[in-house]
């Protein structure tokens, strides 16, 4: 596995889930290397139906929804992630605005932790990264993916592609850890 | 394993190991090596950052701003910027430390995954479900340009309409009307779907709507809960009713439906809907004939008693009263006489009773009965309906001047609603008022100019306004519908732009009740989540953008702080009434207005200065000077359908939360077993309920809590469910409301339907 691709995949997925408009979303989507052609607007409309709203989305991108309570954000799991970030040396400018366990924020944390190890050879947070991956992300992201993929009513090739990329990323990361441990 | 779970959890959750880990982190070079993203390196890393277990609670003062008698004073517990739980404020003897289950669910409401999070635009047309995120700047820009376009093309802003009602009764929320005031003369959906006929009735009789303090009910000797169900909808009042009952008072519930309150009463009397006024007239006749009326009080304080008595003598036949109301005559006599003998005695009239075509006349008849019994102006007595006597704020957020040169409607000016009637100098123009209780019809029919933009705030139009099918047509013909809300409801579904608004925990405000006498500060307890903004901030953004596009086009402040706006609402009158020197004292807890017994001084704000059995104003406006019996709307289909409040929701609010969905997951139509049997309907069957308005499919529940001949469905909005009782309710007016609230009420309990098994 190429480090660059590993890091880039996390980064593009992060950018997809943090996109605030069609343009940013499409740019990150294209960077993932899909051959699917879709307009900026169609991609965003589908993405919002799956993950954003304003109608109840197919799958909420928050850990708390899978780990604590299907109806709430900013609950116990969110605060545990907050504690982890603080211990990792992060500050979060959107504290108490966007819950720390939003998928885009978690992918950002994961990307930065991986970057330290792969690009800077700093392993001080390696144990925390593995913990975050195995004891947190891996407990909910697969369920999130599964819920979104099981949706057939709004079946979207582009969204399926994103979800499968996320799924491979997760499998890859958890497996690499297993090999190198 | 490349990590040890125990080790990491000790680092995260144990003060000592966390400190030593953070020391090492600072030395490791991590902080200068993070690439940066949403998360940033903590440059001021403090190795003593407390872990969660060490973080302490902060408390804040809040109020429940919903359209509810109880308007609870709340204390909110926040840890590290996150609401943990709320409780009722102990300082208020009314809230007395407890909220209802809806209030207790506020943490889940604020942090509901279902909240609207971002401004969004529906790009595939209204109802398409195709939504794009837009920035606040973009959203406000679209709205501002549309407003200026309307003004340019029409020469006025009457093509812009506002519908706002009771979703948040905080005083600064009148800033939403203020926003529309600040752009020019516009169109307003005026009036109230809630209680207008009763407001007019009380004003005709007594010159005001002014109820005794509910806390006095503990000393009442006889209480009639007439068409009101406090056991579900004003639970804090129940403790006073229980106390009175414990001390020997009789508590009687008169209601067409066997309610939760009825189950707690000494006696329940099932009355036929729409005949309450006649019962009150009969009861008055009985006590006058028995010589139990308060002649002395009547002589000193009333006008037209003679005419009223003559009317009772001549027109009211007790046998007829019994027949029409469905109540045995002996029971009516016993009720009237025992009420008259108990002193003080009181009647609490609910708002459902006046949602009939004869609703105002019924409230007048009950007022008259209480007056005859000598219980007006007495401690623990009174004809209770509601009050606005603690609402004397400045309405600073509301009172925005029109931009210079604004042109508007040149029709007559009238009342716009029951709250916040701020007088001003007579202007050459006014806003255009459309009847809120005929929203669909009025939006479709408004001409010269037609309505092109509709702003919806503090209101779920589709859940609360009538004739859903006509509403859809009305929304579809509008150029731009803006819905500012907290959740995606049916109204948002038909919007072009949705704007996510703050909850009361994310802004400052101040709250009073239309029932009790407490004043509560509402502090901002947490940061606004996601991209939500307060209604006032939205107004300020709009003002800023409009002024950039066309200087002087909007007078609303271009930046606001909800706290500063809240402070501006206070005045010496409020301080005097509540015995405080500054609003800051409210940080210590809610305060109560100085005790006053309404009308104890015998002064009424009627034209005669007395209680008016005979009202010239009533004759002029509604064709009857006396509270004479007015027959209710004739049935136009087989069954009466009533759509009261549910205890699981407040109008369209709260039902979408987990706790309510757990106990009350879906809507039902409640049918009397006799009616069900005739239609071969069993418990749990899906039935179609239909009439000339529309058709609803809903599961049946059989109960003799409802009378034969009547179906009951709660007015509610359910998440992910197309159920909407207004599919069936038409917009027929009640008799009164236009006098004091700008438009007649709506006779929604005079809806008739049929049903069949599916």
Contacts A96 to B, Cβ<8 Å: 80-82, 526-527, 529
What pLDDT is attached to residue B426?
A: 59
Is B236 within the bounds of a domain?
yes
Place B470 in a pLDDT band, splitting at 50, 70 and 90: very high
* Per-residue b or e along B391-419, where b marks 16 or more CB atoms closer than 10 Å to that residue's CB: bebbbbbbbbebbeebbbbeeeeebbbbb
**Once rounded to an integer, what is the mean pLDDT over residues B445-468?**
95
Place A2 in a pLDDT band, splitting at 50, 70 and 90: low
* Sign of the C-alpha dihedral computed for residues B329, B335, B340 and B341 taken in this order: positive
Contacts B527 to A, Cβ<8 Å: 96-97
**Once rounded to an integer, what is the mean pLDDT over residues B409-424?**
63
Residue A26 above 80 pLDDT?
yes
Is there a single domain that holds both residue B465 and residue B522? yes
CATH of domain A3-180: 1.10.3480.10
Place B415 in a pLDDT band, splitting at 50, 70 and 90: low
How many helices (H) and strands (E) in chain B?
28, 28
Is B355 within the bounds of a domain?
yes
Is there a single domain that holds both residue B575 and residue B700? no
Place B552 in a pLDDT band, splitting at 50, 70 and 90: very high
Q: What share of chain B in percent tops pLDDT 90?
A: 89
| Whether B50 contacts A144, CB under 8 Å | no
**Once rounded to an integer, what is the mean pLDDT over residues A42-56?**
97
Is there a single domain that holds both residue B183 and residue B225? no
Which helix (H) or strand (E) is A162 found in, with range? Answer: helix A157-180
Residue B269 above 90 pLDDT?
yes
Question: Which domain range does residue B303 map to?
Answer: 211-385
Is there a single domain that holds both residue B440 and residue B578? yes
In the numeric block, the tokens 């606040």 are attached to: B136
User: What's the gap in Å between the CA of B757 and the closest CA on chain A?
Assistant: 30
Is there a single domain that holds both residue B380 and residue B401? no
Place A1 in a pLDDT band, splitting at 50, 70 and 90: very low
Place A157 in a pLDDT band, splitting at 50, 70 and 90: very high
Contacts A92 to B, Cβ<8 Å: 38-40
A164 Cβ under 8 Å from any chain B Cβ: no
Which helix (H) or strand (E) is B639 found in, with range? Answer: strand B639-642
Strands (E), B440-491: 453-457, 480-485
Q: Which residues touch B179 (CB under 8 Å, ≥6 apart)? A: B400, B535, B538, B539, B542, B543, B556
Helices (H), B92-163: 101-104, 106-110, 136-154
**Once rounded to an integer, what is the mean pLDDT over residues B526-532?**
98
Is B153 within the bounds of a domain?
yes
Residue A69 above 90 pLDDT?
yes
Domain ranges of chain A: 3-180
**Mean confidence (pLDDT) of chain B:** 95
Question: Of B577, B592, B607, which marks where a domain is finished?
Answer: B592
B657-673 pLDDT, tens digit each: 888 888 888 999 999 99
**Once rounded to an integer, what is the mean pLDDT over residues A53-72?**
96
A161 Cβ under 8 Å from any chain B Cβ: no
Is B579 within the bounds of a domain?
yes
Residue B423 above 70 pLDDT?
no
What pLDDT is attached to residue A155?
A: 82
Q: How many CB atoms lie within 10 A of CB B677?
A: 12
Query: Which among A44, A72, A125 is the nearest to B111, CB-wise?
Result: A72
Which helix (H) or strand (E) is B622 found in, with range? Answer: helix B616-622
Is there a single domain that holds both residue B579 and residue B463? yes
CATH value at residue B413:
3.40.50.740
Q: CA gyration radius for chain A? A: 16
**Once rounded to an integer, what is the mean pLDDT over residues A29-44?**
95
CB pairs < 8 Å spanning A and B: 191
Number of domains in chain B: 4
Place B279 in a pLDDT band, splitting at 50, 70 and 90: very high
Is B597 within the bounds of a domain?
no
Cis peptide before B344 (omega within 30 of 0): yes
Is there a single domain that holds both residue B581 and residue B662? no
Is there a single domain that holds both residue B218 and residue B191? no
Residue B425 above 80 pLDDT?
no
3-state secondary structure of A149: helix
Residue B386 above 80 pLDDT?
yes
Is there a single domain that holds both residue B585 and residue B673? no
Place B268 in a pLDDT band, splitting at 50, 70 and 90: very high
What pLDDT is attached to residue B107?
A: 96
B616-640 pLDDT, tens digit each: 999 999 999 999 999 999 999 999 9
Query: Which among B24, B28, B113 is the nearest to A72, CB-wise?
Result: B113
Place B413 in a pLDDT band, splitting at 50, 70 and 90: low
**Once rounded to an integer, what is the mean pLDDT over residues B326-337?**
98
Contacts B42 to A, Cβ<8 Å: 86, 89-91
A181 Cβ under 8 Å from any chain B Cβ: yes
A144 Cβ under 8 Å from any chain B Cβ: no
Place A180 in a pLDDT band, splitting at 50, 70 and 90: very low
B564-588 pLDDT, tens digit each: 999 999 999 999 999 999 999 999 9
CA distance B138 to B133: 10
What pLDDT is attached to residue B46?
A: 80
Contacts A176 to B, Cβ<8 Å: none
Question: Of B560, B592, B624, which marks where a domain is finished?
Answer: B592
Is B476 within the bounds of a domain?
yes
User: What's the gap in Å between the CA of B261 and the closest CA on chain A?
Assistant: 32
Place B414 in a pLDDT band, splitting at 50, 70 and 90: low
CA distance B490 to B472: 10
A75 Cβ under 8 Å from any chain B Cβ: yes
Least confident of A17-21, B17-21, B61-65: B17-21
CA distance B710 to B695: 17
Place B427 in a pLDDT band, splitting at 50, 70 and 90: low
Best of B3, B118, B492 to disrupt the A interface (most A CBs within 10 Å) is B3
User: What's the gap in Å between the CA of A164 and the closest CA on chain B?
Assistant: 23
What pLDDT is attached to residue B313?
A: 98
**Shortest CA distance from B18: residue in chain A:** A87
Is there a single domain that holds both residue B332 and residue B396? no
A179 Cβ under 8 Å from any chain B Cβ: no
**Once rounded to an integer, what is the mean pLDDT over residues B684-710?**
97
- Tell me the whole-structure pTM to 2 decimals: 0.96
What pLDDT is attached to residue B721?
A: 86
Question: Of B358, B385, B412, which marks where a domain is finished?
Answer: B385
What pLDDT is attached to residue B719?
A: 83
Q: Do B131 and A54 touch (CB under 8 A)?
A: yes
| Whether B347 contacts B381, CB under 8 Å | no
Strands (E), B343-431: 345-349, 383-384
Is there a single domain that holds both residue B564 and residue B500? yes
Is there a single domain that holds both residue B358 and residue B255? yes
A176 Cβ under 8 Å from any chain B Cβ: no
What pLDDT is attached to residue A181?
A: 38
A146 Cβ under 8 Å from any chain B Cβ: no
């Amino acid at each position: 596995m190429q480090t660059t691709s590993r890091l880039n995949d996390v980064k593009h997925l992060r950018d997809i889930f943090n996109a605030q408009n069609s343009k940013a979303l499409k740019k990150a989507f294209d960077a993932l290397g899909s051959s699917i052609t879709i307009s900026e607007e169609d991609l965003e409309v589908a993405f919002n139906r799956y993950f954003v709203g304003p109608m109840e989305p197919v799958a909420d991108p928050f850990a708390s929804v899978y780990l604590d309570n299907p109806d709430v954000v900013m609950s116990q799991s969110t605060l545990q992630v907050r504690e982890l970030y603080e211990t990792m040396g992060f500050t979060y400018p959107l504290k108490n605005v966007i819950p720390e366990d939003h998928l885009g924020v978690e992918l950002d944390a994961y990307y930065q932790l991986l970057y330290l190890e792969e690009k800077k050879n700093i392993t001080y947070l390696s144990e925390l990264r593995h913990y975050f991956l195995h004891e947190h992300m891996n407990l909910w992201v697969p369920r999130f993916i599964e819920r979104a993929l099981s949706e057939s009513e709004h079946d979207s090739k582009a969204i399926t592609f994103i979800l499968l990329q996320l799924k491979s990323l997760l499998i890859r990361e958890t497996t690499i850890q297993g090999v190198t441990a | 394993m490349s990590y040890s779970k125990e080790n990491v959890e000790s680092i995260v959750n144990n003060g000592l190991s966390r400190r030593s880990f953070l020391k090492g982190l600072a030395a490791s070079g991590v902080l200068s090596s993070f690439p940066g993203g949403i998360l940033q390196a903590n440059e001021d890393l403090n190795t003593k950052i407390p872990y969660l277990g060490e973080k302490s609670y902060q408390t804040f003062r809040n109020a429940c701003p919903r359209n509810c008698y109880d308007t609870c004073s709340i204390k909110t517990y926040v840890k590290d910027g996150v609401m943990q739980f709320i409780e009722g404020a102990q300082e208020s003897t009314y809230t007395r430390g407890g909220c209802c289950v809806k209030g207790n669910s506020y943490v889940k409401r604020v942090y509901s995954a279902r909240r609207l999070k971002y401004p969004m635009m529906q790009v595939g047309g209204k109802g398409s479900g195709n939504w794009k995120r837009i920035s606040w700047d973009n959203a406000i820009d679209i709205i501002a340009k549309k407003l200026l376009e309307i003004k340019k093309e029409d020469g006025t802003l009457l093509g812009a309409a506002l519908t706002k009602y009771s979703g948040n009764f905080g005083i600064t929320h009148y800033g939403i009307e203020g926003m529309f005031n600040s752009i020019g003369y516009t169109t307003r959906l005026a009036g109230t779907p809630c209680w207008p006929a009763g407001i007019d009735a009380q004003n005709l009789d007594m010159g005001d709507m002014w109820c005794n303090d509910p806390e006095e009910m503990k000393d009442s000797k006889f209480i009639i809960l007439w068409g009101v169900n406090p056991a579900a909808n004003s639970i804090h009042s129940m403790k006073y009713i229980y106390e009175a009952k414990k001390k020997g008072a009789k508590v009687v519930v008169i209601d067409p439906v066997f309610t939760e309150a009825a189950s707690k009463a000494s006696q329940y009397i099932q009355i036929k809907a729409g005949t309450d006024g006649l019962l009150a007239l009969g009861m008055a006749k009985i006590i006058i004939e028995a010589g139990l009326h308060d002649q002395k009080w009547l002589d000193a304080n009333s006008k037209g008693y003679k005419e009223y008595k003559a009317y009772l003598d001549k027109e009211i036949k007790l046998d007829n009263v019994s027949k029409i109301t469905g109540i045995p005559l002996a029971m009516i006599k016993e009720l009237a006489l025992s009420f008259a003998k108990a002193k003080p005695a009181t009647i609490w009239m609910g708002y459902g009773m006046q949602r009939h075509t004869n609703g105002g006349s019924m409230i007048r008849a009950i007022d008259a009965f209480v007056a005859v019994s000598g219980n007006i102006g007495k401690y623990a007595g009174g004809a209770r309906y509601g009050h606005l006597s603690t609402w004397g704020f400045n309405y600073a957020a509301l009172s925005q001047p029109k931009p210079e040169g604004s042109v508007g409607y040149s029709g007559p000016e009238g009342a716009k609603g029951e709250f916040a009637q701020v007088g001003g100098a007579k202007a050459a123009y006014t806003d255009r008022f459309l009847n809120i209780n005929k929203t669909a019809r009025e939006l479709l029919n408004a001409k010269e100019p037609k309505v092109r933009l509709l702003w919806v705030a503090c209101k779920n139009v589709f859940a609360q306004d009538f004739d859903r099918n006509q509403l859809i047509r009305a929304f579809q013909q509008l150029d731009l519908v803006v819905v500012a809300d907290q959740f995606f409801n049916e109204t948002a579904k038909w919007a072009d732009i949705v704007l996510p608004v703050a909850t009361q925990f994310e802004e400052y405000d101040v709250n009073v009740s239309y029932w009790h006498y407490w004043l509560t500060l509402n502090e901002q307890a947490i940061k606004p989540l996601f991209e939500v903004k307060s209604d006032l901030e939205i107004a300020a953004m709009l003002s800023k953008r409009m002024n950039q596009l066309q200087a002087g086009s909007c007078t609303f402040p271009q930046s606001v702080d909800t706290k500063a706006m809240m402070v501006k609402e206070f005045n010496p009158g409020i301080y005097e009434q509540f015995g405080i020197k500054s609003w800051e004292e409210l940080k210590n807890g809610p305060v109560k207005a100085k005790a006053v017994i309404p009308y104890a001084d015998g002064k009424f704000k009627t034209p005669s200065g007395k209680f008016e059995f005979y009202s010239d104003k009533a004759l002029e406006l509604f064709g009857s000077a006396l509270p004479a019996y007015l027959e209710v709307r004739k049935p136009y289909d087989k069954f009466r359908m009533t759509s009261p409040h549910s205890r699981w929701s407040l109008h369209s609010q709260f039902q979408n939360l987990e706790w309510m969905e757990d106990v009350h997951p879906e809507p039902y139509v409640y049918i009397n077993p006799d009616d069900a049997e005739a239609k071969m309907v069993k418990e749990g069957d899906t039935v179609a309920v239909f009439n000339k308005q529309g058709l609803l499919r809903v599961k049946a529940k059989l109960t003799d809590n409802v009378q034969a001949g009547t179906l009951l469905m709660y007015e509610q909005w359910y998440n992910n469910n197309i159920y909407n009782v207004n599919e069936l309710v038409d917009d027929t007016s009640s008799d009164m409301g236009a006098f004091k609230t700008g438009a007649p009420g709506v006779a929604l309990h005079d809806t008739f339907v049929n049903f069949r098994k599916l």
